[in-house]
Amino acid sequence: MEDKVALVTGAGRGIGRAIALELASKDCAVALNYAHSAEAANEAAAEIIKSGGRAAAFKADVSNAAEVKEMFSAAAASLGSVNILVCNAGITKDALLMRMKEEEWDGVLATNLKSLFICAKEAVRPMLKGRWGRIIAISSVNALRGSAGQCNYAAAKAGMLGFVKSLAREVAAKGITVNAIAPGFIDTDMTASLSPELRAKFIEAIPAARIGTPQDVAKAAAFLASEDASYIQGQVIAVDGGITM
């Protein structure tokens, strides 16, 4: 994959960082997007460069079309035209209905769903020109408690998966695949903050009897980005230890 350029949103830490490092290990050049984690994203880029790869970090609010356009332009100038897009950026706002603010509801939909539309629209044009591309959407982590948080998450996730299937049908004949990954309970900064009792409760519900790692998701993303996955289209791969069974 040495001739490929990947852009990973939300790549400063957690799953996004793991995906960026995994793609770099496959010889992809990697553009690491971040919104707030500048230090972490630049450290990850430096790690890739130190290992002999090509990488650069780019700040952008992925729900803002102008910033996304500027990011893609800067990434292309630095690394080459993006032909692998991994939309990983996502947030949760977990609250009961009476406590959830309208801007919190809107923020989740903007970051988790609208960003996929904006980034994919920017990425597809050069992919069509090159008749090769990979778009991978990473479904954000579920809300943990609040009913409104659950509804908000479900709305964003349903919209994302519907978008993936619709776009996959649109571009399938052009050498572009569009798929999604639905992670289960993954060991990230957010889940690390849970109480030992709640973590144990989640593990008890997982057939694999363990919490997933960011690398588990990264391996699946690298596969979907490869030539080996060229006939996989419009699918959702659950990386969840079997919990959705």
Answer whether 240's CB lies under 8 Å from 185's CB: yes
* Residues counted in the chain: 245
Q: Is 80 annotated as a binding residue?
A: no
DSSP 186: B
Q: Is 4 annotated as a binding residue?
A: no
Active site residue 34: no
Q: Is 18 annotated as a binding residue?
A: no
Q: Is 10 annotated as a binding residue?
A: yes
Q: Is 135 annotated as a binding residue?
A: no
The torsion angles phi and psi of 73, rounded to 5 degrees, stand at -65, -45
Q: Is 174 annotated as a binding residue?
A: no
Return the SS3 of 26: coil
N-terminal to C-terminal alpha carbon distance within the chain: 34
Longest Cα–Cα distance in the chain: 52
Between helix 147-171 and helix 115-130 the angle, nearest 10°, is 20
Catalytic residue among 105, 132, 153, 185: 153
Q: Is 155 annotated as a binding residue?
A: yes
Q: Is 88 annotated as a binding residue?
A: yes
Q: Is 162 annotated as a binding residue?
A: no
Answer whether 228's CB lies under 8 Å from 28's CB: no
Q: Is 221 annotated as a binding residue?
A: no
Q: 87 pairs with which residues across the strands? A: 137
Nearest by Cα to 116 from 134, 136, 133, 131: 136
Q: Is 153 annotated as a binding residue?
A: yes
41 contacts: CB under 8 Å, gap ≥ 6: 11, 12, 17, 32, 33, 34, 57
User: Which of the residues are catalytic?
Assistant: 153
**Annotated binding site for NADP(+), which residues?**
10-13, 88, 153-157, 186
**Annotated binding site, which residues?**
10-13, 88, 153-157, 186
